[in-house]
Structure 1
């Protein structure tokens, strides 16, 4: 087979308008993919210079002239999607360690308009360092050095300001990055004029990215896909059909980010809280409330969960009937009142994607913090709105408590055990900041005594320091969780789910509050 490169696959090289910090698959599978789409439509006409900040070489990118394939597979609105796109938006990839001077020279390009990044959540951290190192240690240090070089090169010209869009998965990523850059500017005594230029002519935009990009497939799938494509691609990555890039910005930002016009899934709005809240509650919350139950049932992946008749129904019902209705009406865009339900339908399609192997055990990492942030506000809103307990979420919460029951501490890890429907025993690590807390709590419980289990649940719900809220104020919640937990311990997981689904079918959402 021939190799994928510009000789075998000619592609237009556009002016370098974007500087990107990071070579990861999320950037290549979403922002770069979207910019490439705009280029193909003759809208943006700009290429991307990529900075590799981590160790390792850039040889693979050089060998393929920056080209790579995104294979999109999955379900969308009931239809199977299987297509591939050769992305040619990257002009070159430079190493921060080896090519720092060349990277700083890009700051002198009049064509440059945008900086994007994904350096992981720990990348946006303040490090008190000199930005005049070769190169600076941290990403904010590198960014500050680059912006200062541009400021000097163009004499602080207002038209040479840039739009900076971090895609790291933290709230208010743009605001946090701006604050760190300003702090570094002061630490390095870069002067009042530079600070003024930063304030008025460099726009730091909060953004939210949402697309599952597993990256390079396993060797067998990779080889088979290359045979289908007819060329060799060492940089080939897989991605799901769904995609969203929400960017917080005004008309000035829109005038720069013209690539947004090429895809309705790129949204530029002065307030993107709705998109963040929708993803947190429906997608992330749907995962968190369902995964412990599915894992205790003996399932291993999200796809297996969605192919199991009981779990598939549970997931669909908990999202549709108990999560979706709780998103505050004031937050939903007026132009599309069905936006949350449509997103929920997309989420269910995404969960059913057979081409993405998403391990349930991986999703349980830091489950307590996730439950607190993603699901407790939803439970509270449901009780306020419906005046009853969301019984499916109560079952999911009970399964989480059962999942957190460690049987021993071994080699620095708390281990839990569960019995599968076939009678087998699975042992699993509990990777949670509160694993020790729950281990000690469970030691006091007689699992064969319903009163002991109920006291355990009531004590947990009363721990406002743990939950950062008062779960005791949710009348009936602790009792509902205790009932479900007792059923899980005595009847088993499958029988408990079955019982809950039958009850939900006859009562819509379970028993009300007296």
Structure 2
């Protein structure tokens, strides 16, 4: 079988219009994929230069002349989706460690209009450093150095301004990145004229990306797809069908990001993307957080198992549709309901093995960030206990029943059909629960209730007194008591009957 490259698959080249910090699969499976789609429709006609900020070589890209395939696999509206796209939008992949001067030279290119990044949350942290290193240590340092190089070349020209779009999963990521660059500019004494050019001619856009991109499939699936393609592809990238890239911007941003026209339903440019962020946080992330501990305690390992069990599938569908969707602020509720249906399809994707234990990492912090506001909104709207939420919260507390600690790792255990299951609790609150669970007399309803009330009244952690919500402690403690004495499956089955 032939190797994928530009000799076996010749493609046309385009001007380098996008600089991308990050070689990860999310950018390859969403951003570069969308730009490729736009190029093929004649809507952008631009290529992407990727900067590899971390150590290591760029050989895997060079060996394939920066070509790779995106294999879309999953379910959409009950229909199986299988699509392969040869992505040709990447022109070069440069290492910041070995090709920093080449990267800075790109700053002088008149065709460059856009900078995109995904450097994880760590990339949006301030590191006080000189930007004149080769290269600077932090992502913000590298970006500041690049922008300053462009400023020196263009002399403050408006026509050579840029649109910067971070995609790191941080709220207001564009504003945070701008603040980092401005602080580094001040620290490095880059001058008032640079600060003025930065303020008026470099647009930092908040953005939100939403697509599950597992990356390279396991060997058997990879071989099967390569047989379909007729070539070997060591950069083969698996994704789900669903994708959304919401970008905060005005008409000027829309003009520069003309690639959005290739699919305006999945690349949204709007002056306020709060709705898209809220919808994803509450419906997708929030439903994960409230349902995964319950599904794991039922004996499941991956999200697909959760969806194939009628009991856990019913729970997540009902908690999402009945108790989460109504609380999402929206001018058009139908858009929220439609998104919820899409999320359920995504959870049923047979091509993605999403481990439930991985989702439970920092479960407590996720519960606070994603679901407390939803809970409060439900009470404001309906003035009653959201019953499915109470069941999910009880399962969370049962999951956090830490029984032992070994070399700094905490563990819980639960009886499932296959026997006694021990599992790691990777949560900053694990030590807290390890300290308070021993006082609970599991066969005493009053003792269980006192435990739930203690947890829920912790205003410092929850940023609210959950115990003050009418009926909440009684509902949660009732479910938790049954889980401890009847078992999780029996409790859930009875609650959903």
Q: What TM-score bracket applies, with the shorter chain setting the length?
A: over 0.9
Deviation at 1:388, TM superposition (A): 1.1
What SS is found at the alignment partner of 1:115?
strand
Deviates more, 1:280-289 or 1:214-223: 214-223
Superposed CA deviations along residues 16-51 of structure 1, whole A, max 9, x for unmatched, are 000000000000000100011000100000000000
Q: How does 1:409-448 map to 2 (within 5 A)?
A: 409-422=405-418, 424-448=419-443
- Quote the residue 2:496 is aligned against: 501
Cα distance in 2 for residues equivalent to 1:460 and 1:178:
38
Do residues 268 (structure 1) and 269 (structure 2) align?
yes
Cα distance in 2 for residues equivalent to 1:378 and 1:421:
33
Do residues 402 (structure 1) and 403 (structure 2) align?
no
- Quote the residue 2:139 is aligned against: 139
Cα distance in 2 for residues equivalent to 1:203 and 1:305:
43
- Quote the residue 2:33 is aligned against: 33
- Quote the residue 2:89 is aligned against: 89
Counterpart among 357, 361, 371 of residue 357 in structure 2: 361
Deviation at 1:223, TM superposition (A): 1.6
Deviation at 1:443, TM superposition (A): 1.1
Contact in 2 for aligned 1:421/1:494 (Cα 8 Å): no
Superposed CA deviations along residues 351-376 of structure 1, whole A, max 9, x for unmatched, are 00010000000000000000011111
- Quote the residue 1:506 is aligned against: none
Cα distance in 2 for residues equivalent to 1:35 and 1:228:
24
- Quote the residue 2:457 is aligned against: 462
Deviation at 1:493, TM superposition (A): 1.1
- Quote the residue 2:316 is aligned against: 315
Deviation at 1:195, TM superposition (A): 0.3
Deviation at 1:473, TM superposition (A): 2.1
What SS is found at the alignment partner of 2:405?
strand
- Quote the residue 1:301 is aligned against: 302
Q: How does 1:246-265 map to 2 (within 5 A)?
A: 246-263=246-263, 264-265=265-266
Superposed CA deviations along residues 181-225 of structure 1, whole A, max 9, x for unmatched, are 000001101110000000000000000000000011111211221
Deviation at 1:80, TM superposition (A): 0.7
Counterpart among 463, 466, 470 of residue 471 in structure 1: 466
Do residues 19 (structure 1) and 19 (structure 2) align?
yes
Cα distance in 1 for residues equivalent to 2:461 and 2:152:
50
- Quote the residue 2:205 is aligned against: 205
Counterpart among 483, 491, 501 of residue 478 in structure 2: 483
Superposed CA deviations along residues 91-148 of structure 1, whole A, max 9, x for unmatched, are 0100101100000010010000000000011011111111111111100000000000
- Quote the residue 1:4 is aligned against: 4
- Quote the residue 1:509 is aligned against: none
Contact in 2 for aligned 1:246/1:275 (Cα 8 Å): yes
- Quote the residue 1:511 is aligned against: none
- Quote the residue 1:57 is aligned against: 57
Superposed CA deviations along residues 385-427 of structure 1, whole A, max 9, x for unmatched, are 11210110100000000000111111111110010034x0110
- Once superposed, what is the RMSD of the aligned Cα atoms? 0.8
Cα distance in 1 for residues equivalent to 2:326 and 2:50:
42
What SS is found at the alignment partner of 1:443?
helix
Cα distance in 1 for residues equivalent to 2:470 and 2:149:
60
Deviates more, 1:468-477 or 1:362-371: 468-477
Deviation at 1:337, TM superposition (A): 3.8
Cα distance in 2 for residues equivalent to 1:390 and 1:219:
44
What SS is found at the alignment partner of 2:17?
strand
- Quote the residue 1:124 is aligned against: 124
- Quote the residue 1:392 is aligned against: 388
Cα distance in 2 for residues equivalent to 1:343 and 1:79:
16
Cα distance in 2 for residues equivalent to 1:75 and 1:492:
33
- Quote the residue 1:345 is aligned against: 341
- Quote the residue 1:383 is aligned against: 379
Contact in 2 for aligned 1:283/1:347 (Cα 8 Å): yes
Do residues 195 (structure 1) and 187 (structure 2) align?
no
- Quote the residue 1:512 is aligned against: none
Superposed CA deviations along residues 253-279 of structure 1, whole A, max 9, x for unmatched, are 111000011012000000000000000
Cα distance in 1 for residues equivalent to 2:43 and 2:461:
50
Cα distance in 1 for residues equivalent to 2:377 and 2:333:
19
What SS is found at the alignment partner of 2:20?
strand
Contact in 2 for aligned 1:30/1:243 (Cα 8 Å): yes
- Quote the residue 1:150 is aligned against: 150
Deviation at 1:4, TM superposition (A): 0.8
Cα distance in 1 for residues equivalent to 2:483 and 2:12:
60
Deviation at 1:7, TM superposition (A): 1.1
TM-score normalised by L of structure 1: 0.96
Alignment length, in residue pairs?
A: 496
Superposed CA deviations along residues 292-350 of structure 1, whole A, max 9, x for unmatched, are 0010111000000000010011111110001001112xxx2x4x441000000000000
Which 4+ stretches in 1 moved above 2 angstroms?
none
TM-score normalised by L of structure 2: 0.99
